[in-house]
C-alpha cells in the first residue's frame, strides 16, 4: 500500500484528530488504529472533481476489537494524486 502513497503524503488521523505526514507517519497511525479498532471501508462510487481530485463515496463500519459496532456511516474520502501516487486524503461528512 505504501507504494501508492507519495513519500510526503498528507493523511488525516480520523481516529485521534489532526494529520500525519509521510510513509512513516501513516504507517505508525495505521498500526495504532488497527491495534484498537477494526475498520471496514467499502467504496460505493467514485466522482472526479473539476480540480482533478477524486471523491470516493464509502460506507464505513468501525468495530472495537470485541466486534461491537462503534460507527456505521457514509463518508467521502477525497484524494489528490500526483501521477499514480496519493498526495493527500481528506475525510468529509456528506451534505444531507
pLDDT tens, per residue, the chain with 96 residues: 788 999 999 999 998 999 999 999 999 999 999 999 999 999 999 999 999 999 999 999 999 999 999 999 999 999 999 999 999 999 999 886
Domain 2-92 fold is Nuclear Transport Factor 2; Chain: A, (3.10.450)
Q: What's the pTM? A: 0.91
Domain locations in the chain as residue ranges: 2-92
Complete DSSP assignment for the chain:
-GGGEEEEEEEE-TTTSSEEEHHHHHHHHHHHHHHHEEEEEEEEEEEE-TTS-EEEEEEEEEEETTS-EEEEEEEEEEEEEETTEEEEEEEEPPP-
Amino acid at each position: 500500500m505504501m507504494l501508492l502513497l507519495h513519500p510526503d503524503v498528507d493523511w488525516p488521523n480520523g481516529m485521534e484528530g489532526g494529520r500525519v505526514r509521510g510513509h512513516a507517519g501513516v504507517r505508525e497511525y495505521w498500526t495504532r488504529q488497527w491495534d484498537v479498532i477494526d475498520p471496514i471501508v467499502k467504496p460505493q462510487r467514485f466522482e472526479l472533481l473539476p480540480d482533478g481530485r477524486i471523491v470516493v463515496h464509502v460506507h464505513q463500519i468501525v468495530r472495537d476489537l470485541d466486534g461491537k459496532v462503534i460507527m456505521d456511516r457514509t463518508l467521502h474520502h477525497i484524494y489528490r494524486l500526483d501521477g499514480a501516487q496519493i498526495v493527500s486524503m481528506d475525510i468529509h461528512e456528506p451534505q444531507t
